[in-house]
A and B are shown apart, each in its own frame.
Chain A
């Protein structure tokens, strides 16, 4: 297995190219993904390598694009739709939720909808309220969809390839601030399984379940807390539907404390679901402290840079929250 350093965005492009190489039914669609190379330069020069029939620029109609994707998937294609911002999922909800998620069930298993939708999500780029949301929990609420949130270049390539392989609709949430993140990525095609969380850092005192960029912030907080003698276990959830509850239970049984760190709005976000699952599981008997959730504030993401930072968990806040939890102050 040969590894080289790629950015998160490059890893995605490599996955898309390898998927298109392997299967002629795979095609891409989105706004400005052709000659422009994509809003975040993910697709880059793919249009020159695979042609306009397979790297399709779409008009500004997310609902229309989603409808085309559903139809194409039903007809045997494997479309990979790129949204410019995850916030625009709202425009495509009818096709995502009422059609893509449900057709397999409503037609008695006679059809599959093997589409993938990719969503640049999250805040920190000064893109303001309508371009900075984390709507992963919205879609994770819908049975019939799979929802993944890879946090590293290696994971995004492997999970995207797994998503394209998957016979069911898969929603892939990519954090905008991660596109430039560098990491070692295997050259050949490989799959990272959907539905499996990853223990990134082993620890003794508290289990942190985090998603996307919050995984990295949690790791930073863990390093700082290690100096205070607090040993933090960090789990990268990776998949929001289905949730790998077993890995979390095993961890909480060991550490007796749980904290969820996520960028989506705290209320009714992924941390709320994880907390409830642990509270109703056998891990309940091993909890020695309340469950802590660190999530986004109950507000649209502000435009002002300081307020934008304050609207989501940051490393100092994570450190303080975990410290209070472990030292029994909450």
Chain B
């Protein structure tokens, strides 16, 4: 709020005052206590100091002009503060200083303030609404003249769906005993659930319950991919120990292709964070590794910067340590996408469950030989069905499709991974 510059009473029986000189011009900066203007009296020129820091504007009484004692002759605006259209409308508050009116405005939502419609609400209602994160003017008031009371805010806050907590209320699962009762005693072995199992159960249940999944499938022809792999493996130089520096798997190509595809379609390289969507700069891709009794999904960071050889070596190391249960949390947390490959088990197609907070997971099936039409003639080709699960909060259908297209493009023409 702009601070009023009031014409003070400087003489006993003074009702009006004449401003003899302004020491500051309109638009100039002033500091509190600095000389602002002079009032002409019978005795002498009285110097009047500035009541605040800021910029002097709306000088309503010029040099030689007269004003009533106690009236505003100008305003001091804070730097960056919007100047009122007309000086008269600026001081909406009573002569009390600006801070008194600030708390009321702080409680307004921008919408209410912008259209000048301040909702009737008690101070307590405003405080409770602010605490509950509710907009005061969105609440129905039951008080006189539509006044919003504390009771109204409490009712609105109870009706509001629970804050988007990462965990929804868990569905009541049947208890251990209830389930065991369904089966004849001795017909089963009760295996205790360990930490990893519990984590998998909790996280994937949470994922299925809270993440809106949808699924997109493409069929990739991988003959050129297989050929490229053979060529590269054959050409692998020998290391100091006499072993080849790399032995690439189809999965290594898949990881690289996914990493590059995420860079081509950055809208798919995202994480849902509730109030924001995080668009990641690097492609950190998690790769599902089956271990005894469960699975881990170690993350390869910045895939787009790594060569196939480096990815291959890193993947082998991560998989070995995963099986030995020697992975650190930093190695399996985060990431924006994941890959799960059940091709080695002969699975042709499946849908995977997203690992939050990642937004996608690619389920890769086995390479299967089929006859496909090429130029009207049946041609033998090896095809692999890949199914992408997407978190619809962060990734829409078109974005998921673009990602999958980019991925397939690289898989079907691996040389493009070099471009």
A interface, over-half SS? loop
* CA of A287 to CA of B149, assembled, Å: 10
Q: Mark A274-315, 1 if CB is under 8 A from B, else 0.
A: 000000100011111100000000000000000000000000
B91-110 interface with A by 8 A CB criterion: 100, 103
Q: Report chain A residues within 8 Å CB of B123.
A: 284-288
Of the candidates B103, B126, B142, the one whose C-beta lies within 8 Å of that of A328 is B142
Given A287-B122, A288-B122, A289-B122, do A328 and B127 touch, yes or no (CB 8 Å)?
no
B144 part of interface (Cβ distance < 8 Å): yes
Q: Report chain A residues within 8 Å CB of B202.
A: none
A256 part of interface (Cβ distance < 8 Å): yes
Of the candidates A285, A287, A288, A328, the one whose C-beta lies within 8 Å of that of B144 is A328
Q: Does B142 lie within 8 Å of A287, measured CB to CB?
A: no
B70-115 interface with A by 8 A CB criterion: 100, 103
Q: Report chain A residues within 8 Å CB of B127.
A: 285-286
Q: Report chain B residues within 8 Å CB of A226.
A: none
Shortest distance from the beta carbon of A325 to any chain B beta carbon, whole Å:
11
Q: Report chain A residues within 8 Å CB of B149.
A: 288-289, 328
Shortest distance from the beta carbon of A292 to any chain B beta carbon, whole Å:
13
Q: Report chain B residues within 8 Å CB of A3.
A: none
Q: Report chain B residues within 8 Å CB of A330.
A: 144
* CA of A207 to CA of B149, assembled, Å: 17
Q: Report chain B residues within 8 Å CB of A289.
A: 122, 149
Q: Report chain B residues within 8 Å CB of A285.
A: 123-124, 126-127
* CA of A328 to CA of B103, assembled, Å: 24
How many chain A residues touch B (CB < 8 A): the figure is: 11
* CA of A288 to CA of B127, assembled, Å: 10
A161-201 interface with B by 8 A CB criterion: none
Q: Does A329 lie within 8 Å of B144, measured CB to CB?
A: yes
Given A256-B150, A328-B149, do A287 and B124 touch, yes or no (CB 8 Å)?
yes
Q: Which residue of A lies closest to B147 (CB)?
A: A328
Given A256-B150, A328-B149, do A288 and B142 touch, yes or no (CB 8 Å)?
no
Shortest distance from the beta carbon of B154 to any chain A beta carbon, whole Å:
11
B143 part of interface (Cβ distance < 8 Å): yes
B300 part of interface (Cβ distance < 8 Å): no
B118-148 interface with A by 8 A CB criterion: 122-127, 142-144
Q: Report chain A residues within 8 Å CB of B100.
A: 280
B377-394 interface with A by 8 A CB criterion: none
A68-126 interface with B by 8 A CB criterion: none
Q: Does A328 lie within 8 Å of B124, measured CB to CB?
A: no
Q: Report chain A residues within 8 Å CB of B125.
A: 288
Q: Does A256 lie within 8 Å of B124, measured CB to CB?
A: yes
* CA of A288 to CA of B144, assembled, Å: 12
25 contacts between A and B (CB under 8 A): A256-B124, A256-B150, A284-B103, A284-B123, A285-B123, A285-B124, A285-B126, A286-B123, A286-B124, A286-B127, A287-B122, A287-B123, A287-B124, A288-B122, A288-B123, A288-B124, A288-B125, A288-B150, A289-B149, A328-B142, A328-B143, A328-B144, A328-B149, A329-B144, A330-B144
Q: A287-B122, A288-B124, A328-B143 are in contact. List 20 more A-B contacts (CB 8 A).
A: A256-B124, A256-B150, A284-B103, A284-B123, A285-B123, A285-B124, A285-B126, A285-B127, A286-B124, A286-B127, A287-B123, A287-B124, A288-B122, A288-B149, A288-B150, A289-B122, A289-B149, A328-B149, A329-B144, A330-B144
User: Would you list the 3 A-B pairs with minimal beta carbon distance, nearest first?
Assistant: A288-B124, A288-B150, A288-B122
